Amino acid sequence: MEKILTDKVKEAVFSLYNYEVDEKQIQLQKTGKDFTGDITLVVFPFLRFSKKKPEETGIEIGNYLQENVKEITGFNTIKGFLNLVLDKKYWTEVFKDMITDPDFGLKKPGSESKTILVEFSSPNSNKPLHLGHIRNNLIGYSLSKIFEANGYRVKKVNIVNDRGIHICKSMLAWQKWGRGTTPETAGKKGDKLVGDFYVKFEKEYKKQVQSLIEKGTDKDKAVRTAPLIKEAQEMLRRWEDGDKEVVDLWNRMNGWVYKGFDKTYKSLGVSFDKIYYESDTYITGREIVLRALEKRFLFKKEDGSVWVDLSKEGLDEKILLRSDGTAVYMTQDLGTAYQRYDDFKFFRQIYVVGNEQNYHFQVLVLLLDKIGYKWAKDIYHLSYGMVELPEGKMKSREGTVVDADDLISEMIDTARDMSEELGKLDTYSEKQKEEIFRIIGLGALKYFILKVDPRKNMTFNPEESIDFNGNTGPFIQYTYARIKSVLRKAVEKNIEIQKKTDTGFEPNEKEIELIKILAGFPKVVRDAGIQMTTAVVANYCYELTKEFNQFYHDFSILSVDDYETRNFRLQLSEITGYTIEKCMGLLGIDVPERM
């Protein structure tokens, strides 16, 4: 219908005002709930052609559309907005399309599909994943599903920041205070054990700095010259020189961390098609920098360090190689970007990285373009906002972050407590119960985070997220389980659902409203991909769920005597359940058959 209306609006403007309009000027949107209509046309762009008031222009275009589009039965104008009313028969035809197409709203990637790379997670191998990583992983994974639903071939990639001074801090602390402990002997996941030593380093380092300050050393000098930081820097130098002892320890401790990460990723339900490691890609990045230096895209300072001058682009100078030839973070990202294009020839590469890195990605894109990589323009930084708890920000160095594994366990425990209070799972086995608790707990966590636009900062409230009422994951999951219960009871009563609409049956206003929302699913998927936001899908799913619950409350389904009415409502329930399942699937959320 959107395509038909777009073409007819172009016809109308040409016929009425003798002007050809570009499709970009035609803005169609769903009519707001406070107004009568189904689709709204924004009239303001056409006033310069009509030379008339918004209401008058809207009436003229409305009359033309009603005369030339058989599905339009009426219209009204509110200021510069033309609200169009569609025939009931149109909605029953749309419903027919929905029930006969199991993939309604979704496009499947084909051989000609373009490739989108989505980078997310990007952990440091010196500490476990925390709440901030959870938001990052959930956004990246869900966007990957959304892009795939829009017909793209999607590659989910990760870059592990496994080199640098922060890694050496954990290694040095383990050497000094670890006493040979391992994840097995400590009874801890490897990422948590290594993270403990990172925190230990920072605490001891602060003590040294404070001691130097108390003895009269300037604070900046104390930070630079404290024995621990000097030892960590020396360890980094030895690592970059390939010192066997340091490299062996690095491999061993990183191995502990990766095993820990894998468990967390599995618990969270995310996965990757390829994982890159900074320890590999920084070498490629350094080669790129040296080649660009030869071609005079970059310049060298007196101390031998290599820089890029981006002052003409409104930025400043940026170091790429230190005076000793070692690489910086930007160098690694150059190598990673190059390697990924070489691997996948992507149409677009999306970096899901927090907004504190905005400047970094501005520089990365400009630098790649300056060096001569044409695909630099295809890089996009999805700059997401920070996530906090009600009590405030988290700090890794002080060990005050919310551990991802602990939060996942807490959510499952809370789901268990709330479900047991409701007492609806008393007949289930313990194994069945635990699986449902897991689905509810993770669903609450994921939905609460993903319903917020990624670009916004947010506060995560565990208690609020797991409420069985309101805009929450458990509310939507419960509605899905309710629909499945209705369909199971139909089977128990030997009621077969016939997939047909050619019966002359006329849905009531509530049923039509539910069909209208269901019909909007393809546009929701498309808009979510274009806008790169999970919130569009999440909040649509909530709107659909609310509407179905109102319908369920107001009308009988199985107890209706009239066959056509009962069959239609069962079909409507079934397609609503499918759509809820699709929406939640795009968010990486499971839906339980029973709750």
pLDDT band at 397 (very low <50, low <70, confident <90, very high): very low
Give the C-alpha separation, 91 to 2, whole Å. 14
Q: Examine the domain organization and report whether 460 and 525 are in the same domain.
A: yes
Q: What is the mean pLDDT of the chain?
A: 93
- Same-domain status, 566 and 423: yes
Q: What is the pLDDT of residue 327?
A: 84
In a domain, 594, yes or no: no
End position of a domain, from candidates 395, 426, 451: 395
- 39 membership: H or E segment, kind and range: strand 39-42
Residue 342 reports pLDDT greater than 60:
yes
Q: State yes or no: pLDDT of 122 exceeds 80.
A: yes
Do 552 and 524 reside in the same domain of the chain? Answer: yes
Q: What is the pLDDT of residue 209?
A: 97
> 41 has which bridge partners?
28, 82
- Confidence at residue 394, expressed as pLDDT on a 0 to 100 scale: 44
pLDDT of residue 254: 97
Pair 445, 549 in one domain: yes
Question: Looking at residue 396, what is its pLDDT?
Answer: 45
Q: Kindly state whether residue 202 falls inside one of the protein's structural domains.
A: no
Q: How many domains, the chain?
A: 3
Asked if residue 232 is part of any domain, the answer here is no
**DSSP per-residue codes, 414-479:** HHHHHHHHHTTTTTS-HHHHHHHHHHHHHHHHHHHHHTS-TTS-EE--HHHHT-SSSSSHHHHHHH
Does pLDDT of 392 surpass 70? no
Q: What one-character DSSP code corresponds to residue 53?
A: -
Is the separation of the CB atoms in 177 and 197 below 8 Å? yes
pLDDT tens profile 297-307: 999 999 999 99
Distance CA 283, CA 332 (A): 7
> 288 pLDDT exceeds 90?
yes
pLDDT at 96: 87
pLDDT value at residue 502: 66
Instruction: Determine the Cα–Cα distance for residues 341 and 117; give it in Å rounded to an integer.
Output: 9
Question: pTM for the full model?
Answer: 0.91
71, 86, 101 — which closes off a domain?
Answer: 86
Q: Residue 398: is its pLDDT beyond 70?
A: no
Structure confidence at residue 467 as a pLDDT band (50, 70, 90): confident
Asked whether residue 48 is assigned to any structural domain, the reply reads yes
CB 82 within 8 A of CB 43: yes
φ and ψ at residue 183, rounded to 5 degrees: -55, -35
- Give the domain range for residue 314: 275-395
* Whether 429 and 546 share a structural domain: yes
CATH code for the domain in which residue 57 is found: 3.30.1360.70
Q: Are residues 279 and 371 in the same domain?
A: yes
Chain-centroid distance, C-alpha 587: 8
What are the structure tokens assigned to 87, written together?
Answer: 């025939």
Q: Is 212 inside a domain boundary? A: no
Pick the more confident residue, 400 or 468: 468
Residues 280 and 337 grouped into a single domain: yes
pLDDT computed for residue 503 by the predictor: 59
pLDDT tens string 130-180: 999 999 999 999 999 999 999 999 999 999 999 989 999 999 999 999 999
pLDDT by residue (tens digit) across 535-579?
A: 999 999 999 999 999 999 999 999 998 999 999 999 999 999 999
CA atoms of 352 and 515, how far apart (whole Å): 35
The reply to whether 196 falls in a domain is no
Shared domain check, 563 and 425: yes
Q: Are residues 580 and 454 in the same domain?
A: yes
Verify that 444 and 497 share a domain, yes or no. Answer: yes
> Does residue 130 lie within any of the structural domains?
no
Task: Please give the share of the chain, as a percent, with pLDDT higher than 70.
Answer: 97
Confidence label for 501 from pLDDT (cuts 50, 70 and 90): low
* 428 and 573 together in one domain: yes
> Which residues make beta-bridge pairs with 124?
161
- pLDDT score recorded for residue 219: 95
Phi, psi of 372 (to 5 degrees): 120, 15
Residue 315, domain CATH:
3.40.50.620
**Per-residue pLDDT tens digits for 191-201:** 999 999 999 99
In a domain, 220, yes or no: no
Predicted confidence (pLDDT) per residue in 205-240, tens digit: 999 999 999 999 999 999 999 999 999 999 998 998
Among residues 395, 426, 459, the one where a domain terminates is: 395
Instruction: Write the CATH number for 561.
Output: 1.10.730.10
Q: What's the chain's length in residues? A: 595
The DSSP line for 499-511 is ---TT-----HHH
User: Are 456 and 350 contained in the same domain?
Assistant: no
